[in-house]
Structure 1
């Protein structure tokens, strides 16, 4: 470049020469270049991306006050202007080291050894940017070069971003056409949508329209870089992967209406008639929308294949808008999530620790951030617990709190409804087969991955807040532990009902907390609304037409309560240790069932119960549910809950274990006494009759003597004495029995 001024200010002893290469050693610059290189090649072939061991830059021009340099390693390099004094200081301190190394491989090839293809490529690229080369130093200024780039792109039908990249490569090669002979542009393949859009953004010029021109000669809408971002944002907001083409067209209409034409789409999708009122070239076509949305989906699939599903969801996922800014009002979307209770529970009666771990289910409203329901479940995560948590969301909160001994006013906790859409994960994912979904009470169900807490960050934040609250509860399990600390099980003192009252108190307190960073609308700002859960709920019902879906409580209880097995016996339906009978007049054939069970034995039936009360449940009679009440013999269980029943079982188990321990001692004493009695009896028998062997031998001799005597009596022909008059003669068996008794008496006398 000829019009640069290589004059060096006074005191500067390091002149700079155009085209000179320096090695960059400044730490902050090296880190910045590494990050930019990684960002540029994200999604490309890993073997193609190699981090350079040394970073080089080239001097482009030396002006009166500045030295213009450019990095030769960065694929997104731009010119950098340094004051001459600062550049000279970098050289003095060794942060810039002059070197004779040529970083670009193609620049190290002699001109005579360039292949014909390389020469043709060099000539073609040189001709494209020849007007920029003729501008000399003016081409280093963006304001002067971009009009020329636009003019060249229109004349030569070339992408402006491609022209700009060729010119940058020309500068990186020291303003030598030989730098344009390499196939450096292939490295941009696979960079993905991000790099392409950024390239167009940095260029600041129009892109060619996606799709073919219209048949009537009109030009399609020209997509700018900001338009690309709007299209992608609309695709991510209104279109979901796996949807049909009809839903993609719906997403296109919503994107055009909301982001390009400023239509009111609150009532639904804009119709074709509404879009026809605007000129065709004033908004992106459906083909353009599909092009950019599919390109975005392809780039996401590429990242998923490269890094794996889990790593993509954790680190490379898309940034999503807050749910509160997207829902229409309270009751539109509810979040459900389960978290282990961070303190141990004890039995209500025995105060012994519960064996089962408690899990807390929270139901929160996405618009107002209010906790609308909860359920404390004993055991692992389950499908039934989700149903009970939703049932508590629809239940009147005065009755819900009274069940656990907490009295509240009708205006303290006003939420009592079901959502239009539900979002959950974990065991709740199986709720897609739940009765509330089958009955279309809940219109939509979103299953979020368990490792995506950002998709349900509201309920996760409440779980974290409750974990901090648990640190002040005796028997808490979280927090740091030290060697020698008492066991949380030994410190536990909260039973099931006390834990529920504590959770209710905490929930009522959260309704009045001011929510930080809530996305307030202009209407909220104009009304001076303080963003708390209670204020947002009331505002949504009055000004945002919030949706409160209410259903008869009897129907909801039939659909949400858990199901178990019971035995139908002669005394009624037996569930556990309790007996139930139907409400009078509701099941006339129940007496026949009991009579059949008395004759043929009991059989298993399905029942639906509420864990908070054992005073009633529903018996399944085909498709019908019959309400059952406790029999008179089981009225002592009328006020019992799951915790009470578990406590009674634990008490019985403890008492039984103690009694069995005492029985073991009694069994040992009985065995010792039995052994003593047997040993005494054996000693007496041995003293009188001899040892066991002697008695066995004496017994065999007696049997032989008895047989000999029988033969002698039979040989002598002894006849029995005559019987009395009128009496029948004795039978042979009777005579033989008398003979044996006489022989036995004779043997005893002889012995």
Structure 2
């Protein structure tokens, strides 16, 4: 409930207000920290909702003190009484008008005229009255220095609980009772300060509580300062700590102060184990990836360091046997996970032969599909898993964020592998940070990718026959004298437990785990990533004419796009499409390379288009100039036909004459051009040099003759 004279503090910006009046469905509040503050009208129900939602907290009245007259100076008493008389005589009779915003300024001016002061003085008196508790002592000029600081005060309500042992000036400090409002203040401070990543201690949070709720605020040099109240008006640290332990929520505290990952990995209750949710081999497989703690060298040149490899492993939850691995440079990504899934259904005898390791099927008997795969959210949340779910009936369970412990079995296996690598292999990471002068372990890299894969296979074969510590054995296993090794548990589970083992053709699995896309059938071929493909079936069924501009679903391997595959509706067969001649130049390229070439081409064309715009503008301008010049020339021509009919009838003759002129100008002259020399012409009679009249520049006698003939013809027409 809300009461008159109640003080509240905003949780958003720590603004403190006092309720000065409640009328019908409205209440009026003032800001107690402002220099002057006039009442603000609020809707009662709306404000009550804000309190229930803890946007406002009820706090102790910072001006509620018991002040004895003997502790006040004569000046303070005189000033208080004078100002209180003004409030009683000139303001309280008009309090309803002063609460309302409309008309308030007019009424304040009337009061200021009546008592002979400025309107600002009246506002200050009213503000002090409303802000400091609406009583006589509210008009004291300075609370901060009044009240007999350092002397013990008596509260109206006796303090509950055990008395404090510490005394000041020989008197007990009784403190305050912890009310529901104070508990809300504690809870707010814990959420705001303690449950944050700043790492504040409980002492820090207690100090923040005193600053926010139990202090006087004042300005010094333009900055807000805080003066903490006397000890008998504030809760003690012991009281705060007591209620903190009652309000404590370890999950919230660790989650907000550290992280969700920290809680889930290190503080979450462990009440079960992974095996509980399985009923035999093949029920659940866990898959995960890690970057190995070793640097490898190239298989072509041992002096070239190629970095650290990625290890993908798939482990059966029931037996702990490793069912699939991938050691390579792909990932962590769907590509690496896809390779591990491919190895999961591979005959391990043939797989080990590739690395010169001879085993029998009994040493590594896994080549099966599981019922469920537990995976990370990253690789197994994309569209590529749809084939596993829809066609192979494998359920995918993605772990929640920061819950790597849900794949604890396979992650423990990674720790074992990395530990062995550090002990044995050169080039392994020995410590996270090298100090100055330490040898760079990367320079010791010796093992290539194939050799490191052989090392991983050797460790997995050892793991499959190693006793598992703390395995939750069943009574039947003990009766059958089973030692908890992965191989023994796998074989015993197949015979005695239901399990979910299935086998599948390796190519069908590949068809369902490869990335999927859409290709378009056109007259030019089957188009995918701007590459053109063709197939025997497409030709026989005349796709290029019947299915023109229709899209088809395809699967592809991004590592080589010389082939794509169109799966059949049952997901158990496919049509192979090969690159057509226009796209064969890309047959050895990765998808990333092809995309790069296409993007580069688009960028070059885009740059050229901007230049083409300028060329077009230039060409248009030049064309306009040529046309303009032709129009001007037409206006100035001497020949002007008498009528439109005469002009049209002369077209054929004009064309013939123009043709003769053009032929003379366009004719080929293959004879070598000779440089003409100047000669002198002598008159035999006078023995003097005859000056030759030069011909017009750029013309010949024949041209002059033809032009004269044309002019004569035109003269006849006139």
**Shorter-normalised TM range:** 0.3 to 0.5
Question: How high is the TM-score relative to the length of structure 2?
Answer: 0.42
Question: How high is the TM-score relative to the length of structure 1?
Answer: 0.40
Q: Hey, which of these two has a bigger chunk of helix by percent?
A: 1
